[in-house]
Amino acid sequence: MTRHRQKILVGAFILLLLVVGGDRVVSYVQAPLTARRNTADRLADEIEKRAARLARARQAAKDLAYWEQRSLPSDPVAARSAYQAWLLDLVNRLELVNPNVSSGEPALRGGMYYTISFSLQAAGTLDQWTRFLFEFYRAGHLHQIRSIGFAPVGKKDQLVLSLAIEALALPGADRSDGLSEETSDRLAFAKLEDYGVIAARNLFGPGGSVDPTDHTYLTAINYVNGEPEAWFTLRTETDPDHALLKLRVGKPLEIGQFRATVVDIAREDVVLEADGQRWIVAVGESLAQAFALPPDF
């Protein structure tokens, strides 16, 4: 019995040594494997970050090349002269009345590019100004309108606009004296005719009052006998019989000089069509706040 117990004890001792030793062996093997795995993960993360930085750098280079193609001439003096001449030619072609174009001195920004400020004031009809803005934003120059103000003058269809414009000249531009001939893709629609509904609107009614579309709101969308109805409220109307318009799909909407047809009624907005252009207005918005939809919508 004693020898048997001794054998059991010896076997248990040997098993204990194997377990403890095995744990140590595993730890000796696992530690470097874990370290290598962590190193591999860290290197993979660093490679991913470097690839992202490289992609951003390549995109920045493409963007810079794009801007340099549209920049005013690299010579800031020539840039100022050429762009001012372009503005004058534009207002003269559109036959705006009493145009006044002036410019400030080119200002170097951060040693990297020049900004040049221009101001323009002239009188014209809403149709002329719509054409002006279309031509302005279709041009591929690095320019923007920083502020705009307008007021009626003389006849109700005449507006005096005052614009503050800023343009950029990059030293890396591929031209030293001429303007870019690139066109811009910033416009929502490619054709001037698509903006005809703007020129058709009457901003100033008789006596200087605002266009009634500014006060005509889509106030509710209700279902009557299962059919949706768009309810428009004319907030300037005092006659209760005409203060609320209830229209279904296919019905005409006539407010002041604005003429449209209801083509779709959803839960929270209505789509109108006027002169081949579709506009969407949401509940709570006025007709003046309607948003023009793309042609393929």
Domain co-membership, 96 together with 157: yes
Helical axes 126-138 vs 76-93, angle rounded to 10°: 150
CATH number assigned to the domain comprising residue 275: 2.30.30
pLDDT at 135: 92
Contacts of 230 (CB under 8 A, 6+ apart): 218, 221, 246, 247, 248, 262, 265, 270
Distance CA 165, CA 89 (A): 16
Q: Do 161 and 93 fall into the same domain?
A: yes
Question: What pTM was estimated for this model as a whole?
Answer: 0.52
pLDDT in tens, 127-153: 899 899 999 988 988 898 888 887 877
pLDDT band for position 222 (cuts 50, 70, 90): very high
Domain count, the chain: 3
**Does 297 reside within a domain?**
no
Structure confidence by residue, pLDDT tens digits, 90-107: 999 999 999 999 999 999
193 falls within a domain = no
What pairs with residue 220 in β-bridges? 231
- Which residue, of 23, 39, 68, is where some domain finishes? 68
The per-residue pLDDT for 192 is: 83
Q: Are residues 34 and 108 in the same domain?
A: no
Question: Is 199 inside a domain boundary?
Answer: no
Choosing from 187, 214, 229, the residue where a domain stops is: 187
User: Are residues 50 and 81 part of one domain?
Assistant: no
DSSP run (H or E) holding 199: helix 196-200
Q: Which domain holds residue 9?
A: 1-68
Asked if residue 230 has pLDDT above 90, the reply is yes
85 and 178 part of one domain: yes
Counting Cβ atoms within 10 Å, is residue 179 exposed (0-12), middle (13-18) or buried (19+)?
buried
SS3 223: strand
H helices, E strands: number in the chain: 4, 13
Q: Which of 24-28, 82-86, 159-163 has the lowest mean pLDDT?
A: 24-28
157 & 96 share domain:
yes
Write out 164-182 in H/E/C secondary structure: EEEEEECCCCCCCCCCCCC
The values of phi and psi at residue 264, to 5°, are -160, 145
Question: What per-residue string of b and e applies to 83-104 under the rule 16 or more CB within 10 Å gives b?
Answer: bbebbeebbeebebeebebebe
Residues 174 and 114 in one domain: yes
User: Does residue 198 lie within any of the structural domains?
Assistant: no
Residue 31 located in a structural domain = yes
Both 60 and 146 in one domain: the answer is no
Average pLDDT of span 163-175: 86
Looking at residue 101, its pLDDT comes to 93
Same domain flag for 214 and 276: yes
254: its two tokens: 């006539």
- Of 142, 159, 187, which closes a domain? 187
Mean pLDDT, the chain, integer: 78
Three-class secondary structure assignment of 116-147? EEEEEEEEEEHHHHHHHHHHHHHECCCEEEEE
pLDDT at 42: 74
| Among 235, 231, 215, residue whose Cα is nearest residue 223 | 231
Provide the pLDDT for residue 109: 86
* Residue that wins the pLDDT comparison between 122 and 206: 122
Could you read off the pLDDT of 237-296 as tens digits, one per residue? 444 455 688 999 999 998 877 889 999 999 889 999 988 888 899 998 888 888 788 766
Are 137 and 210 members of one domain? no
pLDDT exceeds cutoff 60 at 163: yes
| CATH classification at residue 89 | 3.30.70.60
Q: Which two tokens stand for residue 169?
A: 């000249």
